[in-house]
Amino acid sequence: MKIAFLADPLSTFKTYKDSTYAMMVEAAKRGHTVYAFQQKHMAVEQGVVTARVQQISMTGDSTDWYRAAEPVETNLGEFDAILQRKDPPFDMEYVYGTYLLELAEKQGARVFNKPSAIRDHNEKVAITQFSQFTSPTLVTSDEARIRAFQKQHGDVILKPLDGMGGAGIFRVTADGMNLGSIIETLTGNGRHTIMAQRYIPDIVKGDKRILVIGGKPVPYSLARIPQNGEVRGNLAAGGIGVAQPLTERDFEIANSLGPILAARGLLLVGLDVIGDYLTEVNVTSPTCFQEITQQTGFPVAATFIDAVEAAVQSSR
């Protein structure tokens, strides 16, 4: 197969932990031809979506890890699979990219995850569709509602809807210290919608990333455990990743959501679970492949490429 990865610049990859890198290595090992391009390399002219793509070969070196051929302008419909692996921020530029990929689908491209499904599942707000698995949650830009929510629940987490890596997350305890300032900062004085959630004490045991591939959960999560007094377990915020078997509750959440999300065109999803509660549904570029494989031996990248191959075959 010809597999094209829409990703951030390859020079920025940290190969020891990058999930997209693991996907590329596995695809190349199976004899698939690997290509890469960035969102800025796409264009639509006279209704046809193309991109300047580069064929990529793996060197086996952990630093100088790839060789790239000269870019070639290519109709995206010519690829067997396009894997959307661009990281957030999920801003309007990201949305424009999904529009182009959606048009490319109509011209024969197979895109994973499905562009319209990525658009429809804000990684924070999507949990509100599955409230049976969440802690008390409020989505609003209204200060009075946020204050009432904090008064009711005491210890709460406030966060923006478009952040990643734990950026912009605040904890407000029962005394309400700095609540007004935090609301002003996150909402931009009421201009931006945010999320408030009741604080989940089990965060000290880790923010678990559960990977769901083709509707089925990987049997191990990566618990990202906060360090140095942080309330954020994100690896980007200094959390330590510890792989562990899924709990009965983890399986319940993943097995309930997996088939629903897969049917919507989400081949790969990263569910974030703290304790017994779902906190995020990650659909843009879920990670933690390598950490889980390194610590447990479970072949996450191979499982994912299996799913890509199966999805492409079934669509022919």
Please list the active-site residues.
124, 159, 209, 224, 232, 272, 280, 282
The two tokens of residue 242 are 């510890």
Q: What share of the chain is helix, strand, coil (3-state, %, to 5)?
A: 35, 30, 35
User: What's the DSSP call for residue 129?
Assistant: G
Torsional sign, CA 279, 285, 291, 297: positive
Q: Tell me the sheet residues that pair with 211.
A: 270
* Residue 65 · residue 58 · CB < 8 Å: yes
The CA distance from 133 to 223, in Å, is 18
Q: To the nearest 10°, the Cα dihedral for 147, 155, 195, 213?
A: -170
- Residue 214 region by backbone torsions, left for phi larger than 0, else alpha for psi between -120 and 50, else beta: left
